[in-house]
Amino acid sequence: MFARFTPEARRTTVRAGLLSLDHGRTALDEDMFLLALAESWPVADLAVTPEAVGAEIRNREAAKGRAGDRALLAAIGIDLDEIRRRLPARRDDPLAWRLTRSRLRPLNVTLSGPAGDLPLTARARKVVEVAVSTGDHFGVTGQDLLKGLLADGSNASVSILRRLGVDLRGLAASIGFLHRSA
């Protein structure tokens, strides 16, 4: 699937996976795509910072009463930071990662690389599928990933953007994802 991704979109997707791992998660969800986009894509004009998105993600997890996978693993003596120090040096290299769909279960998409395998949640898979379908002959871009996030108005990323005061309709129109009627 990565064959159609621009280097920028590939880096963003891998970064989203690494952020998931850094948060102690066992799957890649759409909120990590938003955090990765906030770090790498010029979302500054939206006043969306990685710090603000990260704080919203932590607030959502705390509101649900989840300590997160990192805290659960720490409770049984597993130090994720130590595990990461022992991982191969190419952990951040986008070319060392691949995004694959299962042949037997086509709804299963996995991001695999030096840090391990991360299945995509249904909402994260939708982000990727919308991005691939909206990408042009130049390939899938970070802007296409943003379109994928905006495609499902009920996902966590859209909720985070709303709480941060982003005009979602204006954002969608600005990236050509929403055509205003005449």
Quickly name the fold that domain 2-92+102-174 has.
Double Clp-N motif (1.10.1780)
Element (H, E) at 21: helix 7-22
Helices of type H across 23-167? 30-40, 50-63, 68-75, 80-85, 122-134, 142-150, 156-163
pLDDT of 163 above 50: yes
CA distance 131 to 149: 9
In Å, how far from its chain's centre is CA 129?
A: 13
Strand, helix or coil for residue 128: helix
pLDDT tens-digit map of 4-42: 999 999 999 999 999 998 887 889 999 999 999 998 765
In the chain, domain spans: 2-92+102-174
Residue 85, Cβ neighbours under 10 Å: how many? 8
CA distance 4 to 130: 13
Mean pLDDT value across residues 76-95: 72
pLDDT tens-digit map of 112-155: 998 889 999 999 999 999 999 988 878 999 899 999 999 988 88
pLDDT at 95: 86
pLDDT at 89: 57
Mean model confidence pLDDT for the chain: 84
**Lookup result for tokens 């997890």:** 61
pLDDT at 88: 60
Closest CA to 146 of 109, 111, 176: 176
pLDDT of 181 above 60: no
pLDDT range class, residue 104, cuts 50, 70, 90: confident
Strand, helix or coil for residue 174: helix
Choose between 2 and 137: higher pLDDT: 2
Closest CA to 160 of 129, 123, 120: 123
pLDDT at 76: 82
